Amino acid sequence: MYSLRHTLVAILLVLSSACLWSPAARSDDPRVTPLVRAVRHCMESVVNIHTEKAAPENKESRFFTPKSRRVSGMGTGIVVDERGYIVTNYHVIHDVDQITVTLKNGETLAAKKVSFDRKYDMAIIHVDASEPLTVMPLGTSCDVMLAENVFAVGNAFGYEHTVTSGIVSAIGRDVEVDETQSYENLIQTDASINPGNSGGPLLNMNGQVIGINVAIRAGAQRIGFALPIDDARRTIARLLSTERLRGISHGVFATDVKTPSDQQLVIDEVIDGSAADICGLQNGDVIREIRGIQIHDGADWERGLLDVPVGTVLDVSIVRGGQATTLPFTVGVGRNMPATVADRDGQSLAVQTVATPNETEAADIHGKVASMLGLRLASLSTHDRNIIGRRYKGGMKVVSVVSGGRAARHGIRRGDILLGLDGYETLDDRNLKFILLDSRLKNLKELSFQIYRQHHGALVGSMDLTTTRK
């Protein structure tokens, strides 16, 4: 009897404990508030990031051989594609040797860097998950209201999937962190943001991401900042660009059009002879779906084409003149290009997306670079390639700088190596041709140059020089 009674007590304790920690099942339970429902809606799409890097050696040690040690870091990420693509802040993964991602189910995965943008402090990393990940529900920041309820989810001080709530304290904040990093048009919130929250979502009460947490005011209480999601998604589109990552151009230049009631991707320009042109896409078309992905903006369009083998035919759903239609889009195909098909394993046999300029076109391209940027460029020599080493794919040599031009005004010198322009790599004339075709550049207020410089025989490193258009 003694044993049976104590067994029953133990069972009751276990059951009461389970009831205490299990989520409420009844929809009419007053504890299931809008915030609880919103948190449940998004938690699977938030990941925790842990990083490691080697600390600088103590070179002043006199009596012992310096031992290398590891420094740990932490941050948060948001799933933007079910195949394991995750967005976070650049400062979370900058200069680290190892990135580990922990999913909501506890699965721990090694991650690798895919692309990043220093200026906008954003990066894409990738994991190989055992099953498709849940993409974060997308909201819009175009209708964010002062004092509306919001919440943040993140790896605060290493406490994974921490939820904090608050309100929107201000909209359109410009914040300068230091002489090298500043942010514009931020959302300010009093939802607690702590070290480790960087890269995580700020969400509305529908469980939709409206911002990416990026900074806090040191020494203050509950003053945190987030990048508006509409701004962030434009950067994500560039970071997931198939041209940037795979050298496969689709030939579409489009604008995100977002309102509180609808989010659209509207085509501005289609490159002649490109895959989009052959498909039949036209200026003014609204792209609605590709590969089963609903298209809300350019980021969805790019991820819909990313990693798809050349030669694959996809149905693209569009709205033209108020009428819905579907067109066949062939990845990586264009006029005046070699035939490109996929082999049995789905690997590209040939990839060429923007035709290599002939001599006349090349002269015209370099003329535009000189007039627009104040630079004259040339291909890298073997010696130049040895200078930059294996860390970079390549670039173009600055052979002269136009006096009084934009490049000269912002410190670019003869002998510098141009690694990239506004986040796009500049390996050859083909890259320059693609960049100059990008109608988006016409509207940019700022333009960044990625430069590698050699000084007194020592490598200074990569510099990000930003020039403001006049």
Q: Give buried/exposed letters for 211-221 (b at 16+ CB in 10 A, else e).
A: bbbbbbeeeee
Is residue 170 within 8 Å of residue 146, measured between CB atoms?
Answer: yes
Task: Quote the CA–CA distance of 300 and 297 in Å, as a whole number.
Answer: 6
Residues 242-330, CATH architecture: Roll (2.30)
- The residue extents of the domains of the chain are 41-57+68-127, 149-233, 242-330, 359-468
Helix (H) or strand (E) segment spanning residue 461: strand 458-468
Q: Do domains 41-57+68-127 and 149-233 have the same CATH topology?
A: yes
Average pLDDT over residues 388-417: 81
Report pLDDT for 64. Answer: 55
14 has a pLDDT exceeding 70: no
Q: What count of other Cβ atoms lies within 10 Å of the Cβ of residue 263?
A: 20
Supply angle C-alpha 224, 229, 234, rounded to 5: 130
- Tell me the residue length of the chain: 470
Report pLDDT for 361. Answer: 76
Is residue 311 within 8 Å of residue 331, measured between CB atoms?
Answer: yes
Nearest to 53 by CA among 100, 101, 6: 100
Helix (H) or strand (E) segment spanning residue 291: none
Q: How confident is the model at residue 122 (pLDDT cuts 50, 70, 90)?
A: very high
**Virtual torsion, Cα 263, 269, 273, 274, nearest 10 deg:** -30
Q: Give buried/exposed letters for 140-167 (b at 16+ CB in 10 A, else e).
A: bbeebeeeebbbbbbbbeeebbbbbbbb
pTM, full prediction? 0.70
106: Cβ contacts below 8 Å, ≥ 6 apart? none
Where does residue 269 rank: exposed (0-12), middle (13-18), buried (19+ CB within 10 A)? middle
Task: Quote the CA–CA distance of 206 and 209 in Å, as a whole number.
Answer: 9
Task: Quote the CA–CA distance of 44 and 31 in Å, as a whole number.
Answer: 21
Average pLDDT over residues 22-29: 60
Q: Which residues pair with 346 in a beta bridge?
A: none
Residue type for position 240 = L
What's the Cα-to-Cα distance from 395 to each of 248, 293, 356, 416, rounded to whole Å?
A: 19, 35, 16, 10
Positions of E strands within 3-144: 46-54, 70-81, 85-88, 98-102, 108-117, 122-127
Task: Quote the CA–CA distance of 116 and 118 in Å, as a whole number.
Answer: 6
Residue pLDDT, tens place only, 322-336: 999 999 999 988 764
141 has a pLDDT exceeding 70: yes
Task: Quote the CA–CA distance of 27 and 33 in Å, as a whole number.
Answer: 10
Residue pLDDT, tens place only, 380-398: 887 777 777 666 778 889 9
**Cα–chain center distance at 206:** 23
149-233, CATH topology level: Thrombin, subunit H (2.40.10)
Is residue 356 within 8 Å of residue 338, measured between CB atoms?
Answer: no
Task: Quote the CA–CA distance of 395 and 454 in Å, as a whole number.
Answer: 14
Supply angle C-alpha 79, 82, 88, rounded to 5: 20
Task: Quote the CA–CA distance of 16 and 24 in Å, as a whole number.
Answer: 13
Residue type for position 131 = E
Q: How confident is the model at residue 26 (pLDDT cuts 50, 70, 90)?
A: low
Q: How many CA atoms lie within 13 A of 39 on its CB side?
A: 17
Task: For domain 359-468, give the CATH superfamily.
Answer: PDZ domain (2.30.42.10)
> What are the residue numbers of the active site?
91, 121, 198
Positions of E strands within 286-374: 286-290, 293-294, 313-320, 323-330
Is residue 152 within 8 Å of residue 159, measured between CB atoms?
Answer: no
Residue pLDDT, tens place only, 265-281: 999 999 888 899 999 99
Q: How confident is the model at residue 33 (pLDDT cuts 50, 70, 90)?
A: very high
Q: How confident is the model at residue 368 (pLDDT cuts 50, 70, 90)?
A: confident
Q: How much of the chain is helix, strand and coil, in % rounded to 5?
A: 25, 35, 40
Report pLDDT for 249. Answer: 87
32 has a pLDDT exceeding 50: yes
Least confident of 62-66, 127-131, 134-138, 388-392: 62-66
What sign has the CA pseudo-torsion 58, 62, 66, 70?
negative
Question: Does the 41-57+68-127 domain belong in CATH 3.40.50.620?
Answer: no
Contacts of 289-297 with CB under 8 Å at 24 or more apart are 289/315, 289/316, 289/317, 290/314, 290/315, 290/316, 290/317, 290/329, 295/265, 296/138, 296/258, 296/263, 296/264, 296/265, 297/230, 297/233, 297/234, 297/237, 297/256, 297/258, 297/263, 297/264, 297/265
Average pLDDT over residues 40-52: 96
Q: How confident is the model at residue 285 (pLDDT cuts 50, 70, 90)?
A: very high
